[in-house]
A and B are shown apart, each in its own frame.
Chain A
Amino acid sequence: MADNVIEVEKLAARFGSRTVFQDVTFEVRRGEVFVILGGSGCGKSTLLKLLIGLIPPAEGEARVLGNPLNRLHGRPRQQALARIGVMWQQGALLGSLNLMQNVAVPLEQHTKLPREAREAVARARLGLVGLGDAATRLPAEISGGMLKRAGIARAMALDPEILFLDEPSAGLDPITSAGLDDLITTLARETGTTFVVVTHELQSILAIGDRCIMLDKDAKGMIAEGNPRELRDNATHPKVRAFFRREVLEQKA
């Protein structure tokens, strides 16, 4: 389909002889917030790394904006990477640079903007995520929630068409987590950017997700695909039901 920005076909990941998942097939549509969910150890982060080309698939193919990122090299790879942004679980900001300098790194690498322009764009990106007054602070001097916001600002520096977020809510208090969910939905609505979010935080999934897939460790693959709220209400697969109706699991435990 023309408005699919990610197409994944029969993807498999293996570490040695251990299969993490296989036969994973889905597509992500332009402008939606797409959630990859599942329990711990089901391969969510591995799938993210496969999508952005950090590790090669054992089988199948993942095309991001038409490109199999793991097979691109040199300039085509650079150009393809400039069209996506990634926010890592812990922010992955460079510790020796302040927030403004961190956000300016991709601008320095991929554009010919002069230094003052890079700084202005970086400040604007920080302002967009509510960190306008923290531009000169070092990553070690800010909280976990601010680190994630700064990570989003850096990931958005080049106006990417797709933003990948790895566990944006992990380790955050409920209020900060809800604030981050608001930020994601606002950015998705206002900028039209496609978001691919890896998370197992149920509240976040229901708050931000337009569509989702669910991976399962035992099934070694996808066990559900669809709108998260519909899956919560209508899923028939016992594990999907258990995941979305957390209270049932707790009662059984």
Chain B
Amino acid sequence: MQGDEDQATADQGAVMESAEDTLRFSGPLGTAEAASLWPRAMEAARRGVRSIDARGVVSLSGTGAVLLAEVARHAGDAPIEPPGEHSAAETLKRMSDALAAAPAPPPPPRVGLVTRTGQLAIGTVKQCQTRVGFLGEVMLGWAGLLARPWRLRISELFRHLDEAGTRGFALCILLGTLIGVILAFQSAIPMRKFGAETFVPQLVGISLVRELGPLIAAIVLAGRTASAYAAELGTMKVNEEIDALSVMGIDPVAWLVLPRILAAGLVMPVLALVMDLTGLVGMGFVMQGLGIPPSMVMNSLQDWVSVGDLWGGLFKALIFGLTIGLIGCRSGLKTGGGPRAVGDAATSAVVGSLVAVVVLDGLFAIIFFRLGW
């Protein structure tokens, strides 16, 4: 700065001049002026300033005062000549004191790879422990319910059957029909090359009844119901309603969780069946368009799709439903504090449900293969 003279003017008229080793401010120093002058003032401070002269400042906003205080700090606690105007001088003193009381937070500590890996491993183990613990609580709840079945809240069960089931029918009908149409078209194109389009009903029928019907219904349930369970229970947790139930001597698992899990388990086979039937109808329309009459489609289905396939698919759907209900409720009850935590719980419920359904589906595939189904 020695011998250097520089001048900067903010858009609104505040002036900053650097002469020798003094940085001089004058005019009104409001928020907009401070924003305009900030980069050059900091640069000047870093280059080396011994004092700051603010005597020419006629009015000073809080932000302007912070600018002066920060320039002084960056210049190694250079002294400030306060503004001549009384209220501006008061503002400068007040904001300087406030800034001194709020030092810049230290940067977050660096965590090494080994530490992070260890933390991840510990976190995973703890998560597994809580999941197993929650499963145990639910099993105990079921046992208690079997011993005293009249304790099941029937009205609550019907509410969840309605919300998870009845209100999901329209979506399942739409998706089922579209899946049937898409599968029929996509399989008809390559099979026609071999003159085998008459086998499309068998292919689509078996795919839908054994696999896709339950799977797509599970995706619908995970998206609609698991997230709703997590958000509802999560909000109750944030509002301390869960704590209130506990203090009243009511087991939250029996009161809130079991009706939801039972409802999810009961509606899933129905949703899967709706998906199966509407998918077959959609496939039938495509076959009709390809010149294969409905009677032939029905005969093919009767020959190739067994009742065992249907029961296997519905059993899978039941297990998927119970799992989705369990994961949705667990995510809700493990919610932390604040609205963000409720969002996290809903996301965790959907993602967890989808992963669990796919893993379970893989296990079922292996089991059914071993059993020769």
Contact = CB atoms under 8 A, between A and B. Distances in A.
A112 B34 CA distance: 9
A114 interface: yes
A107 B63 CA distance: 10
A136 to B, nearest CB: 5
A127 B70 contact: no
A202 interface: no
For the complex, would chain B's binding face be called helix, strand, loop or mixed by DSSP majority? helix
A201 interface: no
B132 to A, nearest CB: 28
Contacts of B174: none
A183 interface: no
Interface in B55-103: 61-63, 65-67, 69-70, 87, 90-91, 94-95, 97-103
B99 A120 contact: yes
A59 interface: no
B63 A135 contact: no
Given A140-B338, A156-B62, A132 B101 contact: yes
A189 to B, nearest CB: 10
B340 interface: yes
A242 to B, nearest CB: 34
A190 B106 CA distance: 30
Contact of B63 (A96, A116, A121): A121
B249 interface: no
B63 A111 contact: yes
A107 B175 CA distance: 47
B94 A190 contact: yes
Contacts of B69: 124
Interface in A118-172: 119-121, 123-128, 130-133, 135-136, 138-140, 156, 158-159
Given A120-B70, A121-B62, A192-B87, A159 B31 contact: yes
A224 interface: no
B340 A95 contact: yes
Given A120-B70, A133-B102, A125 B62 contact: yes
Interface in B94-134: 94-95, 97-105
B246 to A, nearest CB: 21
Contacts of A113: 31, 34-35, 38, 63
Interface in B151-178: none
Interface residues of A, number: 34
A100 interface: yes
Given A111-B31, A112-B35, A139 B338 contact: yes
A117 B101 contact: no
Contacts of B97: 127
Given A113-B35, A117-B34, A123-B99, A135 B105 contact: yes
B87 A124 contact: no
B62 A159 contact: yes
B63 A159 contact: yes
A124 B340 contact: no
Contacts of B339: 95
Nearest to A123: B102
Contacts of A120: 66, 70, 99, 104
For the complex, would chain A's binding face be called helix, strand, loop or mixed by DSSP majority? helix
B32 interface: yes
Specify which of B34, B62, B87 lies most central, judged by the most chain A CB atoms within 10 Å of its CB. Answer: B62
B198 interface: no
Contact of A128 (B30, B95, B337, B341): B95
Interface in B7-49: 30-32, 34-36, 38-39, 42
Nearest to B30: A159
B312 interface: no
Contacts of A131: 102
B31 A117 contact: no
A136 B62 CA distance: 21
A107 to B, nearest CB: 8
A136 B105 CA distance: 7
Contact of A124 (B30, B42, B99, B337): B99
B36 A112 contact: yes
B252 interface: no
A119 B98 contact: no
A132 B32 contact: no
B336 interface: yes
Given A128-B94, A158-B31, A117 B102 contact: no
Contacts of B337: 140
B61 A117 contact: no
Interface of A: 95-96, 100, 107, 111-114, 116-117, 119-121, 123-128, 130-133, 135-136, 138-140, 156, 158-159, 190-192
Given A117-B66, A125-B98, A132-B101, 11 more contacts: A95-B339, A111-B32, A111-B63, A116-B42, A123-B104, A126-B98, A127-B98, A128-B95, A128-B98, A140-B341, A190-B90
25 contacts: A95-B340, A96-B340, A117-B34, A117-B63, A120-B66, A120-B70, A120-B99, A120-B104, A123-B104, A124-B95, A124-B98, A124-B99, A124-B102, A126-B98, A126-B102, A127-B99, A127-B101, A130-B101, A136-B105, A140-B338, A156-B62, A158-B63, A159-B62, A190-B94, A191-B94
